[in-house]
Structures are given as structure tokens and as C-alpha cells.
Amino acid sequence: MQIVFAPTVPANAPILAVPVAKDGVAKINWSAIGGDVEAVATSAATAARFAGEAGSVIELFVPVDGAVRQVLLVGVGAGEIADWEKAGGAITARLLTSGATSVVADLSAGATPTAKAAAHFAAAAAQRAWRYDTYRTKLAEKSKPTLTEITIAGAPDGTDAAWTEAAAVTEGLDLTRWLVTSPPNVVYPESFVEKVTKDVEGLGLEITVLDEAQMTELGMGSLLGVSQGSRREARILALKWNGAGADAPTLAFVGKGVTFDSGGISIKPGAGMEDMKWDMGGAGAVAGAMKALASRKAKANVVGVMGLVENMPDGAALRPSDVITSMSGQTIEVLNTDAEGRLVLCDCVTWVQQAHKPTTIVDLATLTGAMIVALGTENGGIFANDDALADQLIAAGKTTGDTLWRFPLSPAYDKLIDSPIADMKNVGPRGAGSITAAQFIKRFVDEGVKWAHLDIAGMVWSDKPGTNHDKGATGYGVRLLDQFVADNFEG
């Protein structure tokens, strides 16, 4: 989707979108639309019970100079940034496959946004247009997207700078959604690395790739244990952005990248197993966030680490009751090979601490089904060893709409993963499954390092459209991490 900014409405704009505040129909500058349309348009809005609620849309055809003009009235509610995002996404959702190729949003005819709100309005419109039609060879003409351009007319001063940041996040979301949506025969550890490195080329990121031989030398028996049943070799991909100088504290993002999760020997039920192509949603979010940060030249030092494996059943695969040794030297009794994400994350957490010495680590993972049982698809779960860090992430989630809900950690839960023959087992009892998974990762965090674990199992894929996404990959985590950095790591 191409976003164009213009000082005024271009002549002969085929479709005009006018933002309307809550109960703001009477405040619309109808003369900007052209012709004597106020009576007709107001009556139509009243008949449709349109009151400017955020994201609501009505479509009008009004007489202008002997012709008919198509006008969308788009609600922006109370005018908060989230309301403007709903409006931008609603325009695209309404017109994407309508046959229309372009639309002009006139920000001077109705409600007036701030520069940041205008940029987020445009960004949501662009983000809502993302689709994955690569393998759809018989798509009906009426189902094909036609809308290719949205012109934002009359945006306030300062919108260009705000758009630069919003556009960077949009590009990050595009990468994440592509990774999460692509089938597992297309996205696997090696191809994930190839796609991401190509996509971020020229942005100034320092790229490190570890193959299985290097990981073996480092003693990553936990991560490699997950991978050993697959013919696809594991990889670790690290993207480092130095935007604040060498002396600034380093923040690390760590993402679980299980490109397909069969469950291994503890194989999953067949129903729904196809969803496990997006079990790399945490790594996908880290890749997208790092692209966004580099694209907007964030003034922060951040490293994003993605542990990439495929978990498959095979004669060489991990068996329930095997004991493996992690990079940290701690031993793990594997009781369930489908609790594999934590085995990937623990070695990635150890490696990033040794290689980059971050003061703060945030890991993201589609880790537990128990999290979906607890929170459904409305919030991601957060666990943290530092209250201030948890509050910062929760605040960033509220700002962006990638919301989080905090869960507890305590020694009582930690005891549930003690093993009688090793340092720990990889699963606890049925109860508190998400908490014991977090307690497992916490055992690999060094003393004094601030750490948060985000269990986003219910958030990376959606069965219903949202403000800035259609059904499918949401891109959850990209906006959250970018906002977290902007709020807390940039001066």
C-alpha cells in the first residue's frame, strides 16, 4: 500500500474519506466536499445511525456538479491515537477489494488529528492492507485487492517526522507477518536466516549466524536436542543495532523460533497441528522489531537473538526421560518433547549474556497452551523478575494495543520443576503450566540482569480481523517492543 501526503485534496479525487469525531457530523465542513450536499449527507448519516464511533464507516453517494461523488464518513471517536488507528484500518478494510484503486482522506474537512495521530492513521491503513496471496492461483476477481494508494490530505505540521517512525514499524510488521504466515516448507531455520538477512540488508545491523557445528562447540545441548530429530539444521540469528554509542546499556530481545512444532516424540494431536507453522512467532516478532528499530535509526543499543529449530519425530529425536546439558552447564530431564520452546530459549539466553552482556533481557515465545486457556486471545502473558521492567512493558502494550497481563513467579512454583535425577525437568504438573515454563527460563538468567518473559501463544495469529490486520498473522510484539525501546531506552 502506497501512502501519499498532500497539502490539499487533489482535484477530481474519486473517493473521499472524511474523519468524524463522536457526535461530530454537524461539524463537518461540507463545502470542502463540493456542491450542496449537506442536507443529503446529514440525512443519510442520521438514517444510518452513524455517530462517529471509532472505526465505524458509512458510505455515501452525493451529487456534486452534476455527477455523483463517493464519500466515506469514518468515525474517530474521542480522537485518541487508537481511535485514529481504528479509522485508518476501517478505510482499508472497506475498500481493499471494492474495485477502488485509490482514496483521499481529507483531514481538514472533519476531525483534526495531531501529527502523531495522523501518522498512526496512515500506518494502520497501510498495515490493514497486508495480505498473503502467494499461493492463491484461482482467486476470484472480486476477492483480489484493488486499493493501492491512500492520499492523506491536510495533515498537520510534524506529520512527516511521525510518519518516518510509523512507516518503519509498518515495515517491521510486514516482515514478521510474512515469516509467521509462510508455510514450514518455505520458512525453516536456514531460510528464515536468509529471508531476514536479505530483508534488513543496508540498514546497519550487525549480523551473526551460528550453525550447528558452532553451537555444538559452545555446548548448546538443550537447543540442539530439540533440533536433532529434524533434517533441517538449527540456527541462531542475532541482529545487533548500536544506535546509542558503545557505552550505553544493551537491551536484548530473545525469540523462540520453532519453525514447525510437531511435538517431537510427544507428538501433538493431528487436529490443529497445521497451526504450528507459527510457533516461531516470538522470533518473527524479534526480527520485525529489529528491522523497525534500524529503519528509524533508534537511539538505543539493542540485540535481537532468534533461536531457530524444527521439532520433529525421528529415530534420532529426543525421547521422554532423556537428560541433556544446556550451554549453562545445567542439566535437564526432558519429560515431554513438546515442551521444547523453553529448551531453545534457555541456550539463547545463556549465549546472549555471554556474548553481549545485556543489562535487560525480554524474551518472547508462543510457549504454552495454558496461556491461551488463561487469557484467550486478548492479552499476552508477562512474567518478570523486576517490577519496573514489567510496568514498562505493560505500559508499552497499552499504548500500542499489544496488551499484556502479568503473572506471578515464586519459589513455590519453582520447586515444581525440580528433577530427581537432574538439575530440573522441562515440565511441571498440569497446573500453573505457563508459570512453571517461565520459572524454567528464569533459572538461566544471570544474577543482576533484569528479565521479562512474554508468553504470546494466543496473540501471533487471529481468527478474526483486527484494527490493523486481517485474519491470520497479527505481527504482535513488533509495535510493543518498538514502543518499549522508545519509552525507556532512547533519551
Domains and CATH numbers, the chain: 2-156 (3.40.220.10), 166-488 (3.40.630.10)
Cell of 152: 492523506
Q: Which residues pair with 311 in a beta bridge?
A: 261
pLDDT of residue 40: 84
Which residue's C-alpha cell is 533484569?
450
**What's the predicted TM-score (pTM) here?**
0.97
Could you read off the pLDDT of 46-94 as tens digits, one per residue? Answer: 999 999 999 999 999 887 777 788 999 999 999 999 999 999 999 999 9
Q: How confident is the model at residue 103 (pLDDT cuts 50, 70, 90)?
A: very high
Q: How confident is the model at residue 30 (pLDDT cuts 50, 70, 90)?
A: confident
pLDDT of residue 291: 98
357 annotated active-site: no
pLDDT of residue 327: 98
DSSP state of 468: S
Task: Round to whole Å and give the CA distance between 72 and 47.
Answer: 15
Q: What is the mean pLDDT of residues 414-437?
A: 98
pLDDT of residue 34: 74
Sign of CA dihedral 260, 283, 203, 197: negative
Catalytic annotation, pick one of 342, 425, 450, 479: 342
Q: Which amino acid is at 422?
A: A
Q: How confident is the model at residue 33 (pLDDT cuts 50, 70, 90)?
A: confident
Lowest mean pLDDT among 28-42, 166-180, 317-331, 359-373: 28-42
Residue 192 in 3-state DSSP? helix
Query: Alpha carbon of 369 to those of 116, 338, 410: distances in Å?
Result: 37, 11, 21
pLDDT of residue 246: 79
Catalytic annotation, pick one of 22, 131, 195, 268: 268
Q: What is the mean pLDDT of residues 357-375?
A: 97
Lowest mean pLDDT among 32-46, 152-166, 273-287: 32-46
Query: Alpha carbon of 269 to those of 22, 46, 263, 369, 431: distances in Å?
Result: 48, 52, 9, 13, 20
27 annotated active-site: no
CA atoms in the 13 A half-sphere facing the CB of 327: 24
Question: Contact, 361 vs 386, CB < 8 A?
Answer: no
- Better-scored residue on pLDDT, 245 or 182: 182
Q: What is the mean pLDDT of residues 414-440?
A: 98
| Strand 380-384 relative to strand 450-455, pairing | antiparallel
Question: Contact, 152 vs 6, CB < 8 A?
Answer: yes
pLDDT at 185 over 90: yes
Task: Round to whole Å and give the CA distance between 128 and 124.
Answer: 6
Q: How confident is the model at residue 247 (pLDDT cuts 50, 70, 90)?
A: confident
Cell of 344: 531453545
User: In the chain, pLDDT over 70 holds for what percent of residues?
Assistant: 100
Task: Round to whole Å and give the CA distance between 22 and 74.
Answer: 10
Q: How confident is the model at residue 13 (pLDDT cuts 50, 70, 90)?
A: confident
The DSSP code sequence of 52-100 is --TT-EEEEEEEETTEEEEEEEEEEET--HHHHHHHHHHHHHHHTTSS-
Could you read off the pLDDT of 144-155 as tens digits, one per residue? Answer: 999 999 999 999
Residue among 98, 377, 405 nearest 72 (CA): 98
Residue 386 in 3-state DSSP? coil
